[in-house]
C-alpha cells in the first residue's frame, strides 16, 4: 500500500483547539442507557460514554434496556429518580426523543442524544428549544452506506444481499438506503434485503437467502455484527466467491479482514465515538457551558465521518483505539469548558489518521510503529 503523508499541522489540531480551555468539573452523577448486553457495538458505545465520567472522576449509572423499546423512557425516568443530574440518551425514534425531552424539562435534568438523533424537524425544534437539551451527536450514516457501495462497484461487484436491523432503525436505515441508491445507480442489483428484529436472527436469514438465491458478489452488513454473521453464513458455502463489506469497526470484523481466508473485504466506521462526544456535550452543559451556535441553538452534529481500518493500520487501531482510547485523559479534561467552535472542530477533525498522528507527535506512538502502518514520519 502506498505510504501516506499526514500533515503535522493536522495532527496538532486538538492541542491548538483546546489549549487553555479546561475547567475543573464539579461532582455530577450521569446516566446513560444502552439497548442490551451482548452486542459489541452497543458495549463500545456505552463504554465510550462512560469514559468521560471516569476521566473526570464522577459517578455514572448504566441502564440496560434489555432490548425493550417500551422500557427506554421508563429507564431514563428511573435514572432521573435515582439522582442523575444528566442523561446521555440512546433512543431509536423521534417519538421517544420527544417524550424524553418533556420528561427532562419537567425534572430539570440535562440530556444529550447519543449516536441516534431525531430526524423530524418538529421534534428537532422542540429539542433545541428545551433549556435542558445539551446537544446531539450521531454518525454520517448516509456516508457509511454510499462509501461501501462505491467500493463494491469499483470491484466490479454487481449482485448484493443486504443484512440489517429492524425496518426503520435510525442508524441502519439511512445506511441501507444510501447503499441501495448508489449501488443500483451504478448498475448493481439488490437480490435480497434482510431485516432482523434481534441481531442473532440475522444468521439464519442470511443462510436462507444464500440457499434461495445462490452465489452473489457481495453481502453488505449495515452494522459490524451483521457483517460478521455474513462471514459465518458463508462458511457453509465454501465454493462461493461472495465477499462481505460492513459498517462498524468491530474487533471481530477486523480480525476477519486480516484473515486471508475470510470473505471480509472492507470495514469502515468511527469506533462508536458519537456516544463519547455526546457525553462531552452533556458534561459541558452540567458545568454551565451549554454548547450553542451563533443563533443560540444547542450543538447538533449528525455527520461524524467513518474511516477505513486497513490490515496495515489495524495493529495501531487496536492498540490505541481499543486497548487504550482515541483521546488521552488530558485531552478529554480539556474539552470541558471549551467553546462551541472548538468542540465542533474537534469532532469534525476526528479520524484514524489525525488521532494516530496526534499520538505520534505527543510521543505516545513510535516512528517505527507509524512506518509499519504506512505513514511517512521522522
Q: Where are the domains of the chain?
A: 8-140+271-372, 141-269
* Residues 35-65 pLDDT 10s: 988 888 889 999 999 999 999 999 999 999 9
Tell me the CATH number of domain 8-140+271-372, given options 3.40.50.620, 3.20.20.80, 3.40.50.2300, 3.30.70.270.
3.40.50.2300
**Residue 238 pLDDT exceeds 50:** yes
* Residues 118-139 pLDDT 10s: 999 999 999 999 999 999 999 9
* Residues 271-286 pLDDT 10s: 999 999 999 999 999 9
Task: Indicate the pTM of the whole model.
Answer: 0.91
* Residues 3-32 pLDDT 10s: 444 444 334 444 544 444 445 578 999 999
Give residue 371's pLDDT band: very low, low, confident or very high (50, 70, 90). very high
Per-residue 3-state assignment (H helix, E strand, C coil) for the chain: CCCECCCHHHHCHHHHHHCCCCCCCCCCEEEEEECCCCCHHHHHHHHHHHHHHHHCCCEEEEEECCCCHHHHHHHHHHHHHCCCCEEEECCCCHHHHHHHHHHHHHHCCEEEEECCCCCCHHHHHHHHCCCCEEEEEEECHHHHHHHHHHHHHHCCCCEEEEEEECCCCCCHHHHHHHHHHHHHHCCCEEEEEEEECCHHHHHHHHHHHHHHHCCCCEEEECCHHHHHHHHHHHCCCCCCCCEEEEECCCHHHHHHHCCCCCCEEEEEECCCCHHHHHHHHHHHHHCCCCCECCCCCECEEEEECCEECCCCCHHHHHHHHHHCCCCCHHHHHHHCCCCHHHHHHHHHCCCHHHHHHHHHHCCCCCHHHHHHCCECCC
Domain 141-269 has CATH 3.40.50.2300: yes
Does the fold of domain 141-269 match that of domain 8-140+271-372?
Answer: yes
Amino acid at each position: 500500500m502506498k505510504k501516506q503523508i499526514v500533515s503535522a499541522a493536522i495532527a496538532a489540531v486538538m492541542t491548538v483547539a483546546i489549549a487553555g480551555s479546561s475547567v475543573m468539573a464539579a461532582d455530577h452523577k450521569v446516566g446513560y442507557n444502552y439497548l442490551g448486553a451482548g452486542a459489541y457495538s452497543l458495549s463500545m458505545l456505552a463504554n465510550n460514554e462512560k469514559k468521560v465520567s471516569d476521566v473526570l472522576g464522577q459517578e455514572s449509572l448504566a441502564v440496560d434496556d434489555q432490548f425493550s423499546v417500551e422500557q427506554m423512557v421508563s429507564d431514563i425516568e428511573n435514572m432521573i429518580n435515582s439522582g442523575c443530574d444528566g442523561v446521555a440518551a440512546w433512543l431509536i425514534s423521534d417519538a421517544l426523543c420527544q417524550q424524553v425531552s418533556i420528561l427532562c424539562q419537567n425534572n430539570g435534568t440535562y440530556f444529550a442524544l447519543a449516536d441516534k438523533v431525531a430526524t423530524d424537524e418538529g421534534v428537532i425544534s422542540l429539542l433545541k428549544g428545551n433549556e435542558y437539551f445539551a446537544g446531539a451527536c450521531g454518525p454520517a450514516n448516509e456516508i457509511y452506506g454510499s462509501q461501501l457501495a462505491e467500493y463494491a462497484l469499483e470491484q466490479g461487484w454487481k449482485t448484493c444481499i443486504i443484512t440489517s436491523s429492524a425496518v426503520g432503525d435510525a442508524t441502519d436505515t439511512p445506511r441501507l438506503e444510501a447503499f441501495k441508491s448508489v449501488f443500483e445507480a451504478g448498475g448493481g442489483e439488490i437480490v435480497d434485503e434482510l431485516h432482523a428484529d434481534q441481531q442473532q436472527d440475522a444468521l439464519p436469514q442470511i443462510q436462507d437467502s444464500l440457499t434461495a438465491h445462490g452465489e452473489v458478489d457481495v453481502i453488505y452488513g449495515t452494522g459490524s455484527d451483521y457483517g460478521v454473521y455474513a462471514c459465518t453464513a458463508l462458511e457453509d458455502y465454501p465454493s462461493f466467491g461472495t465477499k462481505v463489506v460492513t459498517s462498524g469497526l468491530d474487533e471481530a470484523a477486523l480480525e476477519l479482514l486480516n484473515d486471508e481466508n475470510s470473505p471480509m473485504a472492507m470495514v469502515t466506521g468511527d469506533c462508536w465515538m458519537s456516544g463519547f462526544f455526546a457525553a462531552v456535550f452533556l458534561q459541558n452543559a452540567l458545568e454551565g457551558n451549554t454548547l450553542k451556535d451563533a443563533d443560540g441553538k444547542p450543538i447538533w452534529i449528525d455527520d461524524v465521518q467513518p474511516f477505513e481500518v486497513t490490515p496495515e493500520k489495524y495493529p495501531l487501531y487496536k492498540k490505541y483505539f481499543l486497548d487504550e482510547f482515541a483521546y488521552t485523559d488530558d485531552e478529554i479534561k480539556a474539552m470541558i469548558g471549551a467553546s462551541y467552535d472548538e468542540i465542533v472542530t474537534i469532532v469534525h477533525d476526528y479520524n484514524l489518521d489525525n488521532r494516530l498522528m496526534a499520538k505520534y507527535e505527543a510521543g505516545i506512538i513510535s516512528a517505527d510503529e507509524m512506518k509499519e502502518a504506512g505513514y511517512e514520519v521522522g
